[in-house]
Structure formats: C-alpha cells, structure tokens
Structure 1
Amino acid sequence: MSEQPPLVLVVEDEPDLADLYAAWLGDEYRVLTAYGGQEALDQIDEADDDVDAILLDRRMPGLSGDEVLSAVRERGIDCRVAMVTAVEPDFDILKMGFDDYLVKPVTSDTLRETVDGLLRRGEYDTDVQELFSLTSKKAILETEKSATELADNEEYQNLTERIEELRAKADNSLEAVTEDDDFERLFSEFDVEE
C-alpha cells in the first residue's frame, strides 16, 4: 500500500481561479477547493487534520483569509499556509501566522514551487520552520517598503533580530554536528545495500 500524496486546500472566492489552481496542482497532489472562508474551515474539519498545505486568499466576502488563518492557528492545525492574494503586503503581515506570501497574478510554476517549499518546510523542526517563515516576510517587506520605512519600523527591526537569533542557533547546531560527529558515520545507516 503506497502513501497518499499530500493534501492541498485551495481557498479562493473566485471559483474559476480556485479551479485553475487545483488543476495546476492536481497531477502531484490531492487537492480540495473552497470558495469562501467558512467553506475552507468546513473542508479542514472534514479532512480531519489531514491537510498538509493551504493556499489562502486574503480578501474574501464573509470570513476573510486573515480570519481563516487565525482560526487554523487557534485550532492548532499543523499545516503550512501560503497567502495567495492581490493584497499588497504591509507591516501587518509580521503578526500573521503564514509561511509564504504570493501576490497575484501567479504562474503555475510559482504555485507548484510554493507548495513544494511549504511541504519541505513541514519536515523541519519548529525553529527552522519559523526561520523560513520570518525570512519570507522580511523578503516581502524589503521588496515593498523603502529602506527608510524599514529602518523606522520597530516590528521590522524585531523581525531582523529574531532571524539572526534563529540563524545563529541553526549555525551552532550545525557546528556541533560537524565537530562531534563524523559525517560518514552519521549517515552510514542510510547507505545500507538492499
């Protein structure tokens, strides 16, 4: 019995666009579509915590993407989330619990690469996941904001400091592995011939 492909939930209030995203991803993943925020939460509940990644529009009537994201995080659902939206990013994204942010329009290649990246991140420990998420937010803001705006924003400065802390922690962990362990010995269990 083979393992099922990862499950991706596409949340988009424009049905044609949601269906297009689903078609782009359908060859590699199991895909669910939701055409609104409440429908997205219902799909998540029905999937019984099986959703691996969510592509989430921010601006939707009724329950917004921001509200869906908050509900997902409050429920403790362990999945990666990318906002795919026409809303230009602002400093408010620093407080949001997403992993990546794409500004529409997006291409099929960009969408696939984003989902691949989200799923890879899910394999890392929480510090590395946080590092990827914060680095993504930093890159988004650096493309949208001037150097002066960034320098004057305390939240952005805190973000930069947190990224440096996480990088230093990752570097120290890597140094500990390379100093204390022989890489050949460390990975020899993976080289077993069948």
Structure 2
Amino acid sequence: MSEQPPLVLVVEDEADLADLYAAWLGDEYRVRTAYGGHEALETLDELDDEVDAILLDRRMPGLSGDEVLSAVRERGIDCRVAMVTAVEPDFDILAMGFDDYLVKPVSSDTLRETVESLLQRSEYDAGVQDLFSLTSKKAMLEAEKSPSELADNQEYQELTARIERLRTDVDRSLEAVTEDDDFEGLFREFDTEE
C-alpha cells in the first residue's frame, strides 16, 4: 500500500478562490477546503491531526484567520501554516505563529512552491523551523516597511537579534556535525533548545 500524499487545508471565505487554490494543488496533494474560520476548525476536528499544511486567509467574516491560527496553535495541531491574504503585513505579524505569509494575488506557481516549502520545513527540527519562520517574517516586513520604520521598531530589532542567535546556533551545530558526523546529536541539541 502506497503512502498517501500530504493533506493541505485551504481556508478561504471566497469559495471561487478556495476552489481555484484546491484545483492548483489537487494534482500533487490531497486538498480539503473550508469556506470560513468556523468551518476550518470543524474540518480540523474531523481530520484529527491529519493536516500537513494550511493555507489560511487572514480576513474572513465570523472567525478571522488570526483567530483560526491561534486555535490551531492552542490545540497543538502540528502542521505548517501560510497566511494567504490581501492584508498587508504590519509589525503585528511578529507575534503570530505562522510559517509563511503571501499577499494576494498569488500565482499557481507561488502557491505550489509555498506548499512544497512548508512540507519540507516539517522535516526539519524545531530550531530550523523557527529560523525559517522568523526569516520569512523579517523579509516580509523589510519588503513592506521603510528602513526608518524598521529601525524605530523594538520588536523588529528583537526579531533580528533572535534570528542572528538562531543562525549562530545552527552554524555551530552544523560544524559539530561535520566534525563528528553526529547527526543524532544535532537533532537532540535543537530539541532541547528554546
């Protein structure tokens, strides 16, 4: 019996857009759609931790994407999440637990590449996943904010410092692996770090 393809949940209140995303991804992945926040949580309950990635609209009536994301993380659902939204990012994204952020409109290639990247990240340990998530947020803010806005924002400065610490830890761990060929030690080290 062959292993099933990864399951992607598309959460989008515009049904035509959700269905379009599902069509773009349907050849490579199992795809479920939810046409709003409440339906997304019901679908997640049905799937019982089977979801590998979520593409999540941020602004939806009833239950916003931000609220759905909080619920996903509070429930301990172990999947990667990309916000796919028309909402331009602001510094509030720094506190959000997503892995990537796309501003609509998005192309089919961009959507497929994002899902592929999210699924690859799932294979990495927590430290490397955190580094990817933080650098994605940093890049998005740098694309949307002026250098003076970035320089004046304390949260952005803390983000930059945290990324540098994580990069140093990753580099140090990789050096130890190449010196000792201790791959198990690399993953143990990341699993014990914050």
Identify whether the pair has TM-score above 0.5, normalized to the shorter chain.
yes
Q: 2:176·2:182 contact (CA, 8 Å) conserved in 1? A: no
Give secondary structure in 2 for the equivalent of 1:102: strand
User: What's the counterpart of residue 97 of structure 1?
Assistant: 97
Q: What is the 5 A alignment of 1:145-156?
A: 145-156=145-156
Gaps of 5+ in 2: 184-194
Paired amino acid for 1:117: S
How many angstroms does 1:182 deviate by?
9.3
Identical positions, percent: 84
Give secondary structure in 1 for the equivalent of 2:55: strand
Deviations 1:137-164 (A, max 9, x none): 0000000001110010000000001100
Q: 1:45 to 1:182 in 2, by over 3 A?
A: closer
Give secondary structure in 1 for the equivalent of 2:177: helix
Residue 67 of structure 1 pairs with residue 88 of structure 2? no
Deviations 1:87-126 (A, max 9, x none): 0000000000000000000000000000000000000000
How many angstroms does 1:127 deviate by?
0.5
Residue 30 of structure 1 pairs with residue 33 of structure 2? no
Based on CA coordinates, which of the two structures has the bigger radius of gyration?
1
Equivalent residue pairs, number: 183
Q: CA–CA distance in 2 between the matches of 1:57 and 1:146?
A: 25
Q: 2:122·2:129 contact (CA, 8 Å) conserved in 1? A: yes
Paired amino acid for 1:22: A
Residue 111 of structure 1 pairs with residue 111 of structure 2? yes
How many angstroms does 1:65 deviate by?
0.2
Q: CA–CA distance in 2 between the matches of 1:107 and 1:10?
A: 15
User: What's the counterpart of residue 189 of structure 2?
Assistant: none
Gaps of 5+ in 1: 184-194
Give secondary structure in 2 for the equivalent of 1:89: coil
Q: 1:110 to 1:178 in 2, by over 3 A?
A: same
Give secondary structure in 1 for the equivalent of 2:167: helix
